[in-house]
Structure formats: C-alpha cells, structure tokens
Amino acid sequence: MCGQMKSHKNKAFFLIELVVSIGIMLIMTPLFISAVKIAVDRIDIDTEHIKAHKRISRAESLLKAPLFYCGLGMPVDASIYKAAFGSQKFDPFRWDGPISVKKGPSGFDNSELRISFARPGSTKLTRMTQSETPDGVVDLHKFPDQNELGDTYSNNSPDIRNWVLFPSTFPPSTPFCVTGLNKKTMSVKNNLGRSFSISRGDRVHHMRAMCVYSHNDCLYTKDFRTSGAQPRIKGIIDIRFDLDIENKLVKVYILARGDRLYDSPKEIEGREEWPEEYLRQWDEKGSRYKLFASKTVLYLPNLIGSDVICEEYINATEQF
C-alpha cells in the first residue's frame, strides 16, 4: 500500500513538473523566436551593408587615379584646352576642359563625369629639349612599349595615343602631338604656337580620357583608348558629381544596392550625405532593394590652372 501511494505521488509530481515546464516553454518560445528573428535580421542588414559598400569602394577606386592625374600638362580653360588639341570635332578633344560634368544616359543631372588625364609611360628624356618653334625632337632612353603610341602619325592626330605631356614643360599646360617616331627619337608639335623646353630625365606621360556614369543598375566607364563603353560594377544604382574647379575638388555621390529583394521599399541608408534633389526621384520611385548612399571628396592636385602662367609667358616673349 505504501509503495503504491508513493508511486502515485511521484506520478502526480511529474505531471505538475511537466505542466509547469510546458507553461514556461510557451512563455519563453515567443521571446526566443523574437530574439532569433532580430539576430537574423541584423545579420541580413550587415550582409547587405557589406555588399553595397564593396561596390562603393570599387567605384571610388576606379576614380582615384584618373582624378589624381586629371589635367596634368593640359590647359584648364575650355577654349584653350580645345585649341591645344587642334580644335578637333571629336571627343575628348572638344570637351570643356580636362574635367566636366553633364547629364548622362540615366537622364539625371550631373550624372556623367568626363576626365582627361595623363599617365606615366615607359620612356624618359635623355637630354634637355629646347625649341624656338612649336615643333621639336626629344630623345628617349628606349623605344616606347607596345600600344603606348598609335600606329600612324600626323600634325593633329585624332588618335588619343598620339598625344603626350611632360610635367616639366615650360610654358606649362602644353600638350604635344607625336608627329613621328624613329627608333628612340620622337618628333612632337604643340598646337598653341609656343616655343618650349623640356627637362632632361622627364618622363613621357600619355594622354588618357574616360567618361563615368551609371545606367540600368550598372556603373560604366568609356575609355577612349578602347571602343565602346565598358560595364564595370553591377549594383551601382546612381552616381552624381559636384565639381568645384576653383578649389580643385569633386564631390562624388554613389548610390549602391544590396542583393536581397524585399516585399516593400526600404529607407535609404546614409541619405543625409546626399543633396535632397538627387534623392527625390529614388524616394518617388522606391526600390525593393536596400539602398546605401555615400559621399566622398576627391582632390585634383594636377589641375593646376596654369593658363595664366602660359599667357604671361607668351605676352612677355612677344615684347622682345
């Protein structure tokens, strides 16, 4: 009898424990599920943030070198820039200076950046070059690398590969057209009618130019040494540029997305960095992707604005 009573008591106690445990579980389960959901959402947001900012970093990397070398050896004034390249009717020679901003293929204001810049080449001068005329000859320490120069030469070449610049040129801001190449001797001419000098040991810099814009969820560059526009970074929704030539800087606004499609549009993260007029269309249109806005300021150290120096030099020489 005692054993049976003890067994019944144990069973009753077990049932009470089971009921209490189920009650506690029912209370804790929603809290646990909520905590798990918060953690999953946080991981999702962080993942989207990382993906978008990788895209932004890649876009900024594409711009850094061209903007650093932007305008090296070129006039900044639009009319002198065009004259320096022979008043040609082809891009990039007819642009409004070495850097400008316009409405791009997206149709948005300030959505396309045009950059003319110079990159160091493989050759340098073995002696100082001085010329009393716009034509001259420079001696190189070796034959230029393949594709550094064009295949044919003329006095006003439409081939961007046949335009070279020298940091030590005096007067400065004087682009040269390559009119001939014979072994390690290169003939050059400037279209500004200037006599000139170039220091010994100066490195030949080759002209480059490109357009940068976003269209249909992709960042494009158009390099004028190749044909057509090149898709570079998928997931760049929008890019804008505010140019300040006087202070030699450009503000770059990039709008990138994550990869996940949501059920409804999400708030744009980092929107306080952007001018309201640039975001208005995205607020009106909305996006099922999570969008991330960034702003960076890049400087133009070689956009020296030396046109005034050139004009002073010309005026001074004309007096003698």
Give residue-wise pLDDT tens across range 9-65: 555 556 666 666 666 666 666 655 555 455 545 556 678 889 999 999 999 999 999
Q: Of the candidates 85, 74, 147, 54, which has an alpha carbon nearest to the alpha carbon of residue 117?
A: 74
- Report the share of the chain in percent with pLDDT over 70: 81
How far is CA 113 from its chain centroid? 9
Match 């390559």 to its residue by tokens.
178
What are the residue boundaries of the structural domains of the chain, listed by start?
A: 64-318
State the pLDDT at residue 14.
61
Contact of 79 with 93, CB cutoff 8 Å: no
State the pLDDT at residue 286.
85
Query: Can you spell out the DSSP letters for 182-226?
Result: ETTEEEEE-TT---EEE-TTPEEEEEEEEEEEE-SSEEEEEETTS
State the pLDDT at residue 29.
63
Q: What is the mean pLDDT of residues 253-282?
A: 92
Q: What is the mean pLDDT of residues 79-89?
A: 96
Separation CA 305–CA 293 (nearest Å): 32
